[in-house]
Amino acid sequence: MFRSPLWLNGPFTKRANRNPTHRASLSSRLKIECMEDRTIPSVAPVGSEFQINSIGSTIAGYSVKSPDVAMDATGAFVVTWQTETELGILFQGQNWSDVHARRFDATGQPLGEEFNVIDGTTAPGNQEYPSVAMGSAGNFIVAWADVPGNAVADYGATSIWARQYDAFGHALAEPFLVDSGATLVDSGVGGIDGISVAADAAGNFVVVYSKWEGSTHGIYARRYDAGGHAEQALRVDTSSLGGETVAMNANGEFVVAWHGPDGRGTGVYARKFDADGLALSGQVSVSFEYDLFGAGFQGNPSAAINAAGEFAISWVAFSEPDPGFNNYVRRFDASGQPLGNEFRINSHIGWIRSRPEVAMDAAGDFVAAWSALPPPTFFDYSDAFAQAYTAAGEAVGPTEFVVNTNSISGPQVGANVAMNAAGNFVITWAEQLSPWIRAQRYSGGFNQPPLAPTVTVPATATAFEDLDKAITGISVGDVDSAALTVTLNVGHGTLTLGSTSGLSASGNGTGAVSLTGSLGDLNAALSSLVYRGALNFSGNDSLSIWASDGSLSTSGSVAIAVQSAISLADDLQARVNTFHAEGVLNDGQTNSLDVKLNLKDNTGDIGKVQSFLNQVAALFNGGILTQSQFDELFSWGNILLLSVTRR
Bigger pLDDT: 265 vs 441: 441
Bigger pLDDT: 154 vs 68: 68
Q: What pLDDT is recorded for position 304?
A: 97
Q: What pLDDT is recorded for position 289?
A: 59
Q: How far is CA 517 from the centre of its chain?
A: 22
Question: Concatenated DSSP letters for 6-43?
Answer: -------B---------------EEEEE----------
Q: Is the pLDDT of residue 61 over 70?
A: no
> Cis peptide before 376, with omega less than 30 degrees from 0?
no
Q: Where are the beta strands (DSSP E) in 306-374?
A: 311-318, 325-332, 343-344, 352-353, 357-360, 366-373
Q: Is the pLDDT of residue 19 over 60?
A: no
Q: What pLDDT is recorded for position 149?
A: 59
What percent of the chain shows pLDDT beyond 70? Answer: 80
Name residues whose C-beta falls within 8 Å of residue 381's C-beta, 6 or more positions apart in sequence.
12, 13, 14, 15, 373, 407, 410, 411, 412
Q: What pLDDT is recorded for position 29?
A: 38
3-state DSSP: the chain helix, strand, coil percent, rounded to 5? 15, 45, 45
- Please name which of 385, 364, 359, 365 lies closest in space to residue 374, comparing C-alpha atoms: 385
- What is the average pLDDT value for the chain, to the nearest integer? 83
Rounded to whole angstroms, the Cα distance separating 435 from 5 reads 16
Query: Furthest-apart CA pair in the chain: how many Å?
Result: 112
Q: Is the pLDDT of residue 10 over 60?
A: no
Confidence category of residue 376, pLDDT binned at 50, 70, 90: low
Q: Is the pLDDT of residue 24 over 50?
A: no
Q: What pLDDT is recorded for position 28?
A: 34
Q: What pLDDT is recorded for position 451?
A: 76
Confidence category of residue 478, pLDDT binned at 50, 70, 90: confident
Q: Is the pLDDT of residue 443 over 50?
A: yes
- Are 32 and 555 spatial neighbours (Cβ–Cβ below 8 Å)? yes
Residues in the chain: 647
| Lowest-confidence segment of 255-259, 283-287, 417-421 by average pLDDT | 283-287
Q: What pLDDT is recorded for position 626?
A: 95
Mean pLDDT of 95-105: 86
Q: What pLDDT is recorded for position 154?
A: 43
pLDDT in tens, 171-208: 999 999 998 877 765 554 444 456 899 999 999 999 99
Q: Is the pLDDT of residue 486 over 60?
A: yes
Question: Concatenated DSSP letters for 61-84?
Answer: T-EEEEEEEEE-TTS-EEEEEEEE
Q: What pLDDT is recorded for position 604?
A: 85
Q: What pLDDT is recorded for position 65?
A: 86
Q: Is the pLDDT of residue 462 over 80?
A: yes
Q: Where are the beta strands (DSSP E) in 105-167?
A: 115-116, 126-134, 140-147, 158-165
Q: What pLDDT is recorded for position 643?
A: 84
